[in-house]
């Protein structure tokens, strides 16, 4: 018999959800076949069988599971399966009979609680207090308007709390004329080279600063040392209505802006349909936070634990300006922010970084030249 263990998929979650089994209980599996789908707070991953044999499940679809937990077994033969005895402590096995106290049974009948809800408690002996807690949590009475905070949002809350508790953050902002950048992006898009807009150009511009500002891409190890990143891996915030995701553009300095555009478009589709894998979301060493919704001018996102900085982008604003001849014209501007861990980055470096971003975005030929290379 071979155990099916839940792998550790990320460092943010203590629990995952087994979304579905891909093989029936008692069904045949082959080595490397996908047999189950596990959902973290950000992505879904398939678990594969490590051997040929017969699958026996230990938990049901929809149940929570922990990294390292045994959720099933693969038996090499029917004889081995017939000789298997369910561990006495395995209260999550779907075939284990549930025992309820009289007080619990009265509440179960009164509120129409299902067997599936009872098994979600992970107990074989269910008491009145367990049912009262279940009613309060799920608001099955219809009298209490309760909201169960989703696991994904609880994970976000934990990251935000950790950032606020551990990172002494400071912020600075630059007002950037993006008229030429927007024109450049539209020209590339019209040429069918790929969709390019201001976020794609900003990702490329940030990546080009890696060599000059290595500490902005570093990871603090302790109060005395930091690990420098060999390449700029840039996380980009994407929210298509199903939650916030931060997929990563790896080695962004080596990519053209059209390639970055293709990758971000693929990520937007994944955000819509829930197709992220953990490798899409791992290993960022700086973040670009897009707060460019209509009318949003400034934003101060958190610095993710393990990173030194986050670059924010607000919405484009039209303003009147004077051209070189003193004539009134309309120009488009954005505010680009830099929120940084003051243990690694000082104000002077933050200002220089923003000045360099401004220079590149206001004269984006350098970004297009990088594209040709």
Same domain, 64 and 208: no
Choice between 94 and 49, residue whose per-residue pLDDT is larger: 49
Return the sign of the alpha-carbon dihedral for residues 80, 83, 89, 93.
Answer: positive
Rounded to whole angstroms, how far apart are CA atoms 223 and 282? 24
What is the reported pLDDT for 228?
97
Structure tokens at 373: 């290379």
Same domain, 72 and 187: no
Q: What is the pLDDT of residues 114-129, one digit of tens each?
A: 877 887 776 767 888 8
DSSP character for 20? Answer: E
Same domain, 76 and 205: no
What is the reported pLDDT for 244?
84
What is the reported pLDDT for 145?
52
Q: Is the pLDDT of residue 288 over 90?
A: yes
How many CB atoms within 10 Å of residue 168? 9
Structure tokens at 336: 């680009």
**126 to 119, 133, 134, 140, 171: CA distances (angstroms):** 10, 11, 11, 17, 52
| Mean per-residue pLDDT, 285-292 | 95
| Listed range (44-48, 106-110, 145-149, 206-210) with the worst mean pLDDT | 145-149
Rounded to whole angstroms, how far apart are CA atoms 168 and 170? 7
Choice between 12 and 130, residue whose per-residue pLDDT is larger: 130
Q: What is the pLDDT of residues 307-319, one digit of tens each?
A: 999 999 999 999 8
Same domain, 363 and 268: yes
Q: 133-151 burial by CB neighbour count: b if 16+ within 10 A, else e?
A: ebbeeeebeeeeeeeeeeb
DSSP character for 246? Answer: -
In a domain, 151, yes or no: no
Same domain, 236 and 314: yes
Last residue of one domain, picked from the residues 82, 112, 146? 82
**Structural domain containing residue 345:** 168-372
In a domain, 159, yes or no: no
Same domain, 58 and 188: no
Same domain, 187 and 112: no
Same domain, 40 and 120: no
Same domain, 31 and 118: no
**166 to 158, 300, 341: CA distances (angstroms):** 12, 17, 10
In a domain, 326, yes or no: yes
In a domain, 150, yes or no: no
In a domain, 92, yes or no: no
Q: Is the pLDDT of residue 365 over 50?
A: yes
Same domain, 264 and 184: yes
**pTM across the whole model:** 0.71
Q: Is the pLDDT of residue 8 over 90?
A: no
- The number of distinct structural domains making up the chain is 3
In a domain, 153, yes or no: no
Burial of 322 (0-12, 13-18, 19+ CB in 10 A): exposed
In a domain, 218, yes or no: yes
Same domain, 29 and 125: no
Average pLDDT for the chain: 86
């Amino acid at each position: 018999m071979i155990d099916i263990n839940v792998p550790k998929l990320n460092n943010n979650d203590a629990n995952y959800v087994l979304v579905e089994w891909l093989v029936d209980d008692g069904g045949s599996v082959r080595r490397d076949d996908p047999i189950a789908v596990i959902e973290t707070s950000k992505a879904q991953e398939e678990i594969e069988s490590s051997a040929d044999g017969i699958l026996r499940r230990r938990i049901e679809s929809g149940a929570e599971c922990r990294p390292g937990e045994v959720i099933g077994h693969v038996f090499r033969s029917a004889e081995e399966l017939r000789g298997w005895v369910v561990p006495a402590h395995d209260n999550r096995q779907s075939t284990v009979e549930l025992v309820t106290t009289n007080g619990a049974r009265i509440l179960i009948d009164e509120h129409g609680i299902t067997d599936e809800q009872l098994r979600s408690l992970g107990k074989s002996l269910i008491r009145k207090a367990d049912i009262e807690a279940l009613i309060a949590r799920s608001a099955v009475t219809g009298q209490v308007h309760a909201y169960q905070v989703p696991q994904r949002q609880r994970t976000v809350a934990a990251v935000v709390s950790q950032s606020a508790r551990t990172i002494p953050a400071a912020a600075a902002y630059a007002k950037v004329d993006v008229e030429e950048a927007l024109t450049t992006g539209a020209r590339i898009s019209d040429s069918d080279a790929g969709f390019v807009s201001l976020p794609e150009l900003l990702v490329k511009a940030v990546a080009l600063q890696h060599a000059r500002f290595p500490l902005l891409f570093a990871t603090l190890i302790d109060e005395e040392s930091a690990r420098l990143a060999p390449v700029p891996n840039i996380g980009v915030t994407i929210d298509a209505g199903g939650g916030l995701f931060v997929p990563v553009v790896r080695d962004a300095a080596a990519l053209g802006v059209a390639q970055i555009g293709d990758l971000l478009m693929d990520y937007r589709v994944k955000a819509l349909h829930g197709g992220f894998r953990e490798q899409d979301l791992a290993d960022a060493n700086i973040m670009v936070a897009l707060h460019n919704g209509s009318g949003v001018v400034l934003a101060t996102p958190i610095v993710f634990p393990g990173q030194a900085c986050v670059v924010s982008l607000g919405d484009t604003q039209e303003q009147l300006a004077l051209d070189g001849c003193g004539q009134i014209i309309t120009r488009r501007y954005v505010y680009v922010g830099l929120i940084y861990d003051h243990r690694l980055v000082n104000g002077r470096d933050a200002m220089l970084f923003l000045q360099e971003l401004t220079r590149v975005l206001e004269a984006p030929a350098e970004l297009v030249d990088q594209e040709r290379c």
